[in-house]
A and B are shown apart, each in its own frame.
Chain A
Amino acid sequence: EPEVTQTPSHQVTQMGQEVILRCVPISNHLYFYWYRQILGQKVEFLVSFYNNEISEKSEIFDDQFSVERPDGSNFTLKIRSTKLEDSAMYFCASSEMKGASYGYTFGSGTRLTVV
């Protein structure tokens, strides 16, 4: 069964450093998403991406965050200058059609720890 692949599974970084989280969505999917879950809290929407541009973003997704699809397969989330509160599990997802009713396929997540 097709999978969404995320790397690395765990990343530790120092506060103020830039990090790039990588995702390989399912090949025929057109819509891409990032969600995050701070330990003990809800899974929260960050951003959706379609046709090489951001479709929607939440208030969490401020200027420190950016997304990119640098080639035909990867979808990345960059945090420019990490803060302690960015420590969370980050989930990438993709879907063939727009909207959750069509079903998202999630990756297994990247646990980001900022020290």
Chain B
Amino acid sequence: AQSVTQLGSHVSVSEGALVLLRCNYSSSVPPYLFWYVQYPNQGLQLLLKYTTGATLVKGINGFEAEFKKSETSFHLTKPSAHMSDAAEYFCAVSAPGGGSQGNLIFGKGTKLSVKP
């Protein structure tokens, strides 16, 4: 069975500081990994995803994440936080193949606050 753990339900950073949101997963097969963002009163928007190939993936709005198989991690980073980054971020995992394992398994989410 697959699962996702996001460390820290709430992270607060200053504007311009590094953003690091942690995600660890467990999967019996090589996973597909995702980060979604939810701005207030909006839907879940895909930030970036890892399926195969390069383990460092770049997404929208300057975010990137690195798949580390040895650490079963997929942490999300951004070098310099902006006020507009304040949102809730969800890590998710799925198994390849698109079958019953192809559905998304989400973490609990991390709410990011950015202080001026």
Which positions in A face B, CB cutoff 8 Å?
Answer: 3-4, 6, 9, 33, 35, 40-45, 48, 56, 91, 93, 97-109
Asked if A101 and B51 make an inter-chain contact with CB atoms under 8 angstroms apart, the answer reads yes
Asked if A56 and B49 make an inter-chain contact with CB atoms under 8 angstroms apart, the answer reads no
Asked if B106 and A42 make an inter-chain contact with CB atoms under 8 angstroms apart, the answer reads yes
Partner of A101, one of B32, B41, B43: B32
Q: Which residues of B contact A33 (CB under 8 A)?
A: 103
Asked if B96 and A101 make an inter-chain contact with CB atoms under 8 angstroms apart, the answer reads yes
Q: How far is the CA of A103 from the CA of B45 in the complex (A)?
A: 10
Asked if A100 and B44 make an inter-chain contact with CB atoms under 8 angstroms apart, the answer reads no
Q: Which residues of B contact A35 (CB under 8 A)?
A: 104, 106
Q: How far is the CA of A48 from the CA of B103 in the complex (A)?
A: 9
Q: How far is the CA of A32 from the CA of B50 in the complex (A)?
A: 22
When each residue 34-52 of chain B gets 1 if its CB lies under 8 Å from chain A and 0 otherwise, what string results?
Answer: 1010000111111001010
Which positions in B face A, CB cutoff 8 Å?
Answer: 4, 32, 34, 36, 41-46, 49, 51, 90, 92, 94, 96-100, 102-109
Q: Which residues of A contact B36 (CB under 8 A)?
A: 106
Asked if A101 and B98 make an inter-chain contact with CB atoms under 8 angstroms apart, the answer reads yes
Asked if B103 and A45 make an inter-chain contact with CB atoms under 8 angstroms apart, the answer reads yes
Asked if B43 and A107 make an inter-chain contact with CB atoms under 8 angstroms apart, the answer reads yes
Besides the contacts A43-B90, A101-B49, what 19 more A-B pairs have beta carbons closer than 8 Å? A9-B41, A35-B106, A40-B108, A41-B108, A42-B109, A43-B109, A45-B103, A45-B105, A56-B100, A91-B44, A99-B96, A99-B97, A99-B98, A100-B98, A100-B103, A101-B98, A104-B44, A106-B43, A106-B44
Q: Which residues of A contact B34 (CB under 8 A)?
A: 100
- Sample of 15 A–B contacts (CB below 8 Å): A33-B103, A41-B108, A42-B4, A43-B44, A43-B104, A48-B103, A56-B100, A93-B44, A99-B94, A100-B98, A100-B103, A101-B96, A103-B46, A106-B43, A107-B43
Q: Which residues of A contact B90 (CB under 8 A)?
A: 43
Asked if A91 and B107 make an inter-chain contact with CB atoms under 8 angstroms apart, the answer reads no
The smallest beta-carbon distance between B110 and chain A, in angstroms, is 12
Q: Which residues of B contact A102 (CB under 8 A)?
A: 98
